[in-house]
Chains A and B, each alone.
Chain A
């Protein structure tokens, strides 16, 4: 399984902070996002935000990063701490 996390505005808009996915072969971060966007119209809209960031195993990464079983994938908006 892959653990998927959402933070901040995304978590609030999707009313979800985490879910589990089954890994498939050559599953990239972009593919996960596309799959999740198929959930319904709301998810499609929220996940189409053009400034989304993705982290795999707590490190920022790209949309062509291949995800494996046991990985933790997080989607979130640009950070605003400090």
Chain B
């Protein structure tokens, strides 16, 4: 399930929906939050923009790729857009699988690919005004390593 929304999400609710199948021995979830520092500046909040339509299609595609490589049952990807304040939740990734290794790997793959493929852009509200974030080379490398490992064409 893919959701792009302004509203917050509740991890307990999402967990309950994911963990309802006794075939699954593993549930792995990840939550990304707004933290209070970046590149030496104090961050007070951020604003998230996206490309409606393309975002959902990229996320669906990433989910499909994960399912091709690991035996997954449920997959939930939630990403928030709009204005977020310090400490708020930004993104939720949840996967279930009969096996823990598949669940861990798929969850990590999903967030790594989301960060470099899905058309979201963060603008930080810092002590020195608002500032668009620059993409990080290390995120691209991580994503590239997955592509090499799983033989995914970029």
Please provide the chain B residues from 113 to 133 with a CB less than 8 Å away from any CB of chain A in the complex. Answer: 114-123, 132-133
B57-95 contact mask (Cβ, 8 Å, vs A): 1 or 0 = 100000000000000000000010000000000110000
A27 within 8 A of B: no
Q: Which residues of B contact A43 (CB under 8 A)?
A: none
Q: For the complex, what is the distance from the CA of A78 to the CA of B119, rounded to whole Å?
A: 8
Please provide the chain A residues from 5 to 22 with a CB less than 8 Å away from any CB of chain B in the complex. Answer: 5, 7-9, 11-12
Evaluate contact between A81 and B121: CB separation under 8 angstroms.
yes
Q: Which residues of A contact B121 (CB under 8 A)?
A: 7-9, 76-77, 79-81
B134 within 8 A of A: yes
Evaluate contact between A82 and B115: CB separation under 8 angstroms.
yes
Total number of B residues with any Cβ neighbor in A under 8 Å: 26
Residue from A9, A58, A60, A77 within 8 A of B53 (CB atoms): A58
Q: For the complex, what is the distance from the CA of A80 to the CA of B90, rounded to whole Å?
A: 12
Q: Which residues of A contact B132 (CB under 8 A)?
A: 8-9, 12, 77, 80
Evaluate contact between B134 and A80: CB separation under 8 angstroms.
yes
Evaluate contact between B114 and A8: CB separation under 8 angstroms.
no
Evaluate contact between B115 and A81: CB separation under 8 angstroms.
yes
Q: For the complex, what is the distance from the CA of A8 to the CA of B120, rounded to whole Å?
A: 9
A25 within 8 A of B: no
Report the minimal beta-carbon distance from A62 to chain B, rounded to whole angstroms.
11
Report the minimal beta-carbon distance from A71 to chain B, rounded to whole angstroms.
13
A contacts, CB < 8 Å to B: 5, 7-9, 11-12, 51, 55, 58-60, 74, 76-82
